């Protein structure tokens, strides 16, 4: 079973971290080199990597420090990582590593074990979702869940179930069209792109019959934060009586979605696209990068177990 | 009270029709010349003009024929117009003119009277909506209602009510950002652009408190067809308990929204933007240009009376 390049977009080779530059896809499959944690943190801020890529990158930053003999910089690196972007819970990741260090555990081994566990858990998650899919289903998805969607498709194939996909383009960064459609087509699946405002139309016309999305943050009560637009799709799925499944990261310490800090990004990112001005000069935009979907709209959470 | 260029985007001067090229806005305010009905019909197909511009253009096509002494071409022109785009009811417009001709009515006078009546009715519609707005309201809108939104704002100003606006960008043609934000800013109103997938977020955060949209087609039962995305916004407005107002054209002869023919446009129009490829090569898209919002989701229809 071959995996999408997005499933494991970060590598560490001879003390250099290689980060798949997701902003260049699908035009170019290329990797950015990060020689230290500052360069790696910049890649997070500039959204060169996202979703699970961020989780991997955090772990590889610490591994890199160890390989470079810079164990003394662990805390400084953790602080820089925590300050990159607010919605994914970077602190809960760096706390795991700092916790191991504090206990005097064998750090490199712990991190490698964590990464192995993450890989295993993600594959299990995809397999679990595939069991919810019936022959002939058409799945609507939004944004990108880092290689899990083609993997779900592969599990369906193994189970002799035909599945096809619709993806929103996911403005403003177009991860749905640039990443999800790209990796699904690459893996030989039938995939159709719609603009974000076509969800009600395709649902009402019966063109899709299940929704599967990921999440950047899971609060203790089951509320999730995910790419802007997810909340609206969840409301529509409820209205049209379609199941809405969420592949979740491990839960954070936050009680509910109301406590999740939503990242506000520069409005330039919605008013321009790749240097092309889309909006009239002088008009402002509003760009929350995520929204919070209440647990009550989620048909089923697919949880992830990570050993710590 | 000054009117937006979009309020009356078609003119007839010395036998030439001038069509505001809405695809070039906001970069350029320029007009296409149509010397005959074939050129005018091409402008409709290429979406150079849309919404009420199409209604005006139909009337000006007939006026042009009369001024050019080509009364014999009335039926041929009507057939060409009816074949341009399916969702707006072109036939009900051309039938009005052919009906006058059949009865031997003074055609030029009838058409000019119709246009005068249309102008009056549209201004009345804007005034009627303005009475539903309270001081401090923030209106969410979608796509573009041909100059009526700044006019609604002007009526609010006259009534000493402060009103501000959010508009979706309205993919794929970006009429919300290119046209609505442009004309509102031009008229001195506070306007913020969001991507189409931010509607649930701004509603849940209380950033907008009323929705006002237009419609390209009104069926007898109150169902409307409007720019793709309208249906989803209506469902969200209901979910978040916000009023959803629709400025309607005169009702067609169709019984319900199910009978409205929805225009399917080439998927290239969502996979590219102004020549820039947005999606991976070889991936397909699905592009219904309109969706149908059931009457039950509409808080209030603002009807338009046109004398025939």
Listing DSSP states for B254-284 in one string gives -SSGGGSPPPB--THHHHEETTEE-S-TT-E
- Residues of chain B positioned with their CB less than 8 A from the CB of A87: none
- Whether B307 has a pLDDT exceeding 70, the answer reads no
Among B194, B200, B205, B266, the strongest candidate for a mutation testing the A interface, having the largest count of A CBs within 10 A, is B200
pLDDT for A14-39, tens place per residue?
999 999 999 999 999 999 999 999 99
Listed by number, the residues of chain A in 121-160 with a beta carbon closer than 8 Å to a beta carbon of chain B are: 142
Residue of B195, B239, B273, B291 to mutate, interface with A, max A Cβ within 10 Å: B195
pLDDT tens sequence across B222-273: 999 999 999 999 999 999 999 999 999 999 999 999 999 999 999 999 999 8
pLDDT of B274 strictly over 90: no
pLDDT band at B56 (very low <50, low <70, confident <90, very high): very high
Catalytic residue among A216, A223, A267, A291: A216
Q: Give the pLDDT score at A307.
A: 60
pLDDT, mean of residues A63-71:
97
How many contacts does A have with B, using Cβ atoms within 8 A? 183
Q: What is the dihedral of CA B26, B246, B294, A293, to 10 degrees?
A: 70
Q: Is A203 helix (H, G, I), strand (E, B) or coil?
A: helix
Quick: pLDDT tens for B277-297. Answer: 999 999 999 999 999 999 999
The chain A residue lying nearest B271, using CA atoms, is A193
Nearest CA of chain B to the CA of A281: how many Å?
A: 9
Please name the residues between 265 and 294 in chain B that touch chain A, using a CB distance below 8 Å. 267, 270-271, 273-274, 276, 278-288, 291-292
Kindly indicate the confidence band of residue A1, based on its pLDDT and cuts at 50, 70 and 90: confident
Lowest pLDDT segment from A165-169, A174-178, A275-279, B116-120: A275-279
- Split at pLDDT 50, 70, 90, the class of B275 is confident
Query: Higher-confidence residue: A162 or B275?
Result: A162
**Are the C-beta atoms of residues B93 and B55 closer than 8 Å to each other?**
yes
Ordered by start, the domain boundaries in chain A are 10-120, 124-302
pLDDT computed for residue A308 by the predictor: 56
Using the predicted structure, report yes or no on whether residue A83 has a pLDDT greater than 90. yes
Fold of the B124-302 domain: Rossmann fold (3.40.50)
pLDDT digits (tens, 9 = 90+) for B189-221: 999 999 999 999 999 999 999 999 999 999 999
Question: Chain A neighbours among B 171-210 (CB < 8 Å)?
Answer: 171-172, 174, 177-178, 181-182, 185, 191-202, 204, 207
Query: pLDDT band for position A294 (50/70/90)?
Result: very high
The per-residue pLDDT of chain B, averaged, comes to 96
How many Cβ atoms from other residues are within 10 Å of residue B158's Cβ?
11
Average pLDDT over residues A102-123: 96
Tell me what pLDDT residue A276 has: 87
Q: State how far residue A288 is from chain B, nearest Cα, in angstroms.
A: 8
Q: What is A10-120's CATH topology?
A: 1.20.120
Contact B247, B213 (CB under 8 A): yes
Q: Show residues of chain B in contact with A271, CB under 8 Å.
A: 177, 193
Cβ pair A182:B276 closer than 8 A? no
- Are A232 and B231 within 8 A, CB to CB? no
Give contacts of B239 with chain A, Cβ < 8 Å: 235, 239
Strand order in the sheet with A137-141: A300-302, A244-247, A210-213, A137-141, A163-168, A191-194, B284-285
Catalytic residue annotation of B? 216
pLDDT given at position A111: 97
Residues A219 and A248: their CA atoms lie apart, in Å, by 10
A216 catalytic? Reply is yes
Contact B177, B107 (CB under 8 A): no
Largest CA distance in chain B: 59
Q: A302 to chain B, minimum CA–CA distance in Å?
A: 23
Provide the percentage of residues in chain A whose pLDDT is more than 70: 99
Residues of A in contact with B191 (CB under 8 A): 283-284
Cα torsion B29, B34, B39, B40 to 10°: value is 70
Q: Which residue of B280, B282, B291 is the best one to mutate when testing the A interface, meaning the one whose CB has the most A CBs within 10 A? A: B280
Parallel, antiparallel, or unpaired for β B191-194 and B163-168? parallel
Distance CA A205, CA A182 (A): 25
């Amino acid at each position: 079973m071959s995996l999408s390049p997005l499933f494991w977009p970060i590598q560490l080779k001879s003390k250099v971290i290689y980060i798949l530059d997701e902003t260049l896809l699908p035009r170019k499959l290329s990797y950015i080199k990060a020689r230290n944690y500052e360069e790696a943190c910049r890649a997070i801020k500039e959204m060169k990597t996202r979703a699970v890529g961020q989780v991997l990158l955090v772990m590889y930053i610490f591994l890199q420090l160890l390989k470079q003999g810079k164990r003394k910089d662990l805390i400084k690196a953790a602080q820089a990582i925590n300050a990159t972007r607010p919605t994914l819970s970077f602190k809960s990741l760096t706390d795991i590593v700092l916790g191991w260090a504090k206990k005097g555990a064998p750090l490199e081994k712990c991190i490698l074990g964590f990464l192995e566990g993450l890989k295993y858990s993600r594959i299990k998650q995809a397999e679990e979702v595939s069991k919810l899919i019936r022959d002939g289903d058409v799945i609507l998805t939004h944004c990108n869940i880092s290689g899990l969607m083609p993997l779900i498709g592969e599990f369906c194939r193994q189970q002799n179930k035909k599945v096809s996909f619709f993806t929103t383009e996911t403005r403003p960064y177009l991860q749905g069209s640039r990443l999800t459609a790209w990796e699904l087509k690459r893996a030989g699946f039938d995939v159709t792109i719609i603009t974000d405002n076509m969800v009600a139309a395709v649902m009402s016309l019966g063109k899709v019959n299940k929704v599967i999305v990921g999440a950047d943050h899971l609060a203790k009560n089951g509320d999730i934060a995910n790419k802007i637009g997810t909340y609206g799709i969840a409301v529509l799925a409820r209205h049209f009586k379609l199941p809405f499944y969420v592949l979740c990261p491990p839960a954070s310490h936050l009680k509910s979605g109301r406590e999740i800090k939503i990242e506000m990004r520069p409005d330039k990112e919605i008013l321009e696209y790749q240097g092309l001005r889309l909006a009239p000069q002088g008009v402002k935009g509003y760009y929350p990068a995520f929204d919070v979907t209440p647990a009550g709209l989620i048909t089923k959470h697919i949880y992830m177990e990570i050993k710590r």
